[in-house]
Amino acid sequence: MSIQALNSKFIEKYGESGEEARVFYAPGRVNLIGEHLDYNGGYVFPAALDFGTTLIVRPRTDGKVQFASTNFPYEASIDFSEIGHAKTGEWVDYPVGVMVELAKKDLPVSGGYDLLFHGEIPNGSGLSSSASIEVVTGFAFLTLLGGDTDTVEIALLSQRAENQYVGVNSGIMDQFAVANGKRDQAILLMCDTLEYSLVPFVTGSYKLVISNTNKKRGLVDSKYNERRSQCEEALAILKQEVPSLSYLAEMKPEQFGQHQDKITDETVRRRARHVVEENQRVLDSVEVLKNNDLKQFGLYMNDSHVSLRDLYEVSCEELDVMVEEAQRIPGTLGSRMTGAGFGGCTVSLVHEDDVQRFIAEVGEAYKNRTGLTGEFYVCGIGNGVEELKGVK
């Protein structure tokens, strides 16, 4: 939807007023490579997508903060003095949670506002519409209230809103990518320290195709916890060999090769090997992207999937079928599961001339083989959170 069309909806809902409306935007995100490394002291490598959540916001004089979204029928009108007093269990908890965090920073939303959100990110599909709505809210209010719009701080306060107010436990990657992304650049991020750098990733005539398996995930939490404790076990053993080691991902593949037989449990050894090799793949990806070698990057994506499937064992039949069918399309440079696994999405790098064929053929084969209907989103790499000009 154009800003003009969204503004017409805004006027329809809230009417005209003498106050100035402003427009803000935050994207969705995808992790390109580097899976299950965040809790092992390794890198993730996400990018902001070129579609996201737009927010029109305009001050009002009666102290009410009014919430509406083009994506949900639920609406709310809350006096600013009561923001955060009661959770609703509705989508407004996301922006309200951000306002609660702003108040903790001594920047309470004081005064009234009309808010209209419009999301182009499918909800609950793994593209992080939740981080997008949080970050756009945080950035908008920090701008309006004259606060510091440091995008790292905004990512952190958005994460706290999701963890504490909404009550969903999530790491920092999503909010970080949504807040700090740049067009044609991926983000090399160390989640623990928030040390990061932008890495040119010019997709050119290639597109990122995100394929949603629509597989219902079960038991994700228990399996996730099991992987974490296996990694801790491996680290404890390897630390006896290399006392300076504080995280598994610090180990280089050669060094791991020298010490791996100290890990007698074969499963634990495979988990550790994934972590060590996947982290190296992220670093190798950054190297080949210096020459924008998308072809080699695609091969690393394929390798990453194999490792997640065979060593870390967090894939599932649906993800494997989606990847296998994607790799059959001639214009596909690489394909892998993205996210925690056991369902969710894959990400593929596909030549634009083959995207339609990809969606048709992979979609059909996926349906035939799994009985499920996949969904496909064609993306480029876009900017992180920003103010957009031009309501008037």
Which residues are at the interface with Mg ion (CB under 5 A)? 128, 130
Within 8 A by CB and 6+ apart from 232, the residues are none
Paired tokens of 281: 């793949």
Note whether 126 binds ligand ADP by CB under 6 A: yes
Query: Least distance in Å: CB of 130 to ligand ADP?
Result: 3
Note whether 39 binds ligand ADP by CB under 6 A: no
**What are the CA-CA distances from residue 194 to residues 44, 99, 185, 382 (Å)?**
11, 23, 17, 21
CA distance 278 to 275: 5
Q: Is 127 annotated as a binding residue?
A: yes
Q: Residue 126: which of Mg ion, ligand ADP, none does it interact with, CB under 5 to 8 A by kind?
A: ligand ADP
Shorter beta-carbon distance to ligand ADP: residue 71 or 143: 71
Q: Residue 72: which of Mg ion, ligand ADP, none does it interact with, CB under 5 to 8 A by kind?
A: ligand ADP
**How buried is residue 136: exposed, middle or buried, by Cβ count under 10 Å (0-12/13-18/19+)?**
buried
Active-site residue among 93, 114, 174, 320? Answer: 174
Paired tokens of 105: 């920073």
Query: Least distance in Å: CB of 304 to ligand ADP?
Result: 21
Q: x/- site string to ligand ADP, residues 53 to 72, per CB under 6 A?
A: x---------------x-xx
Q: x/- site string to ligand ADP, residues 132 to 171, per CB under 6 A?
A: -x--------------------------------------
| Segment lying near ligand ADP (by CB under 6 A), choices 80-88, 126-134, 240-248, 345-353 | 126-134
Of positions 7, 31, 66, 129, contacts ligand ADP by CB under 6 A: 129
**How buried is residue 9: exposed, middle or buried, by Cβ count under 10 Å (0-12/13-18/19+)?**
middle
Q: Single out the residue of 272, 263, 275 nearest to residue 304, CA to CA.
A: 275
To the query of whether residue 174 is one of the catalytic residues in this protein, the response is yes
Beta bridge partners of 144: none
Shorter beta-carbon distance to Mg ion: residue 66 or 128: 128
User: Using an 8 Å Cβ cutoff, are 320 and 310 in contact?
Assistant: no
Within 8 A by CB and 6+ apart from 117, the residues are 53, 54, 55, 67, 68, 69, 70, 71, 95, 133, 136
Determine the size of the site formed for ligand ADP (CB under 6 A). Answer: 17
Alpha helices in the chain (DSSP H): 3-14, 93-104, 129-144, 151-160, 173-180, 220-241, 253-259, 266-289, 294-306, 317-328, 355-370
**What are the CA-CA distances from residue 213 to residues 74, 217, 346 (Å)?**
28, 10, 8
Note whether 304 binds ligand ADP by CB under 6 A: no
Shorter beta-carbon distance to ligand ADP: residue 40 or 129: 129
Binding residues for substrate: 35-38, 224
- Residues annotated as part of the active site: 174
Binding residues for Mg(2+): 130, 162
Binding residues: 35-38, 69, 124-130, 162, 224
Q: By the criterion CB under 6 A, which residues form the site for ligand ADP?
A: 53, 69, 71-72, 91, 94, 117, 119, 123-130, 133
